Amino acid sequence: MGMVDVTEKPVVRRQAEAVGRIHLAPETVRKIAEGEIKKGDPFLVAEVAAMNAAKQTHLLIPHCHQIPLDTVTVGFELIDDGVEVRCLVRAQARTGVEMEALVGVTIALNTLWDMVKYLEKDGQGQYPATSITDIRVIRKEKGGEND
């Protein structure tokens, strides 16, 4: 057992894109849209968090290889009941980058929750409507072709 030996695999261009959603109260979505979040711009903070997380995936998931990433791109879209986040990762590597994309999108979503949690809590300090859902890889490519 252990890490997969990728010594004999060629270094090729690889990319993966992951997506996920955080469901929020309408008032929270409005405050994000109007730039009224107390901690600052949640998209800017979540973007930096996602980039850092993607670069550190090998430290978080034991069997992942350390991959020098060429780019991590994070995008946000306000939707009626929350935010959709996408994370695209590219590298020249011997192994894929889908775990990096998944970790990036997951940490972006967790960061968004942290930025707005004061708005989402109910009277008992719970989060009855807040949830993170639909995290998945929507695209994976190797050497310019789907892998």
Query: Annotated active-site positions, please?
Result: 114
Q: Which residues of 75-106 are buried (b: 16+ CB within 10 A; e: fewer)?
A: ebeeeeebbbbbbbbbbebbbbbbbbbbbbbb
Inter-residue contact 51 to 60 (CB < 8 Å): no
Residue with token string 């997380």 = 53
DSSP bridge pairs for 145: 142
Cα separation values, 147 from 12, 46, 81, 141, Å: 12, 29, 33, 5
Sign of CA dihedral 60, 66, 67, 69: positive
